[in-house]
Amino acid sequence: MYKTSISKAGILSLLAISILCLQATALRLMAQERRTTTTTTDSHVNWIWDDGNWKRSVEIRGRAEFTDDYTDIKSISDGGFVRIEEKRDGTTRRLDVVRDANGQLQRTYYFNGQTRALDAQDRAWVAGIILEAVRQGAIDAERRVQTIFERRGLNGVLEEISLIKGDYAKRIYFDALLKNRNLNSSALQTVFRQAAREISSDYEQAQFLIKSSDQLAGKPETLAAFFEATATIKSDYEHRRVLSALLKKSAANREVMLFVVRSAVSISSDYEKGLVLKEVAALGLEDAQLAAAFFQPTNTIKSDYERRGVLSAVLRRRGLQPEVLSRVLESAAMMSSDYEKATLLLEASGAYAGDARLRDAFLRTVETIKSDYERGRVLSVMLKNKQME
Q: What is the pLDDT of residue 3?
A: 46
Pairing of strands 114-115, 105-111: antiparallel
Give the relative orientation of helices 270-283 and 304-315 as an angle to the nearest 10 degrees.
Answer: 10
Question: What mean pLDDT comes out for the span 148-172?
Answer: 95
Q: Tell me phi and psi for residue 43, to 5 degrees.
A: -125, 10
Beta bridge partners of 114: 111
Neighbours of 50 (CB within 10 A): 14
Report the half-sphere exposure of 104 (CA within 13 A, side-chain side).
3
Are the C-beta atoms of 83 and 47 separated by less than 8 Å?
no
Q: What is the pLDDT of residue 206?
A: 98
Alpha-carbon distance 163 to 167, whole Å?
11
Residue range 279-294, pLDDT digits in tens: 999 999 989 999 999 9
Residue range 59-95, pLDDT digits in tens: 999 999 999 899 999 999 998 999 999 999 999 999 9
> Which helix H or strand E contains 7, and what residues bound it?
helix 2-34
Tell me the residue type at 107: R
Alpha-carbon distance 324 to 193, whole Å?
35
Alpha-carbon distance 248 to 262, whole Å?
17
Assess whether pLDDT exceeds 50 at residue 212. yes
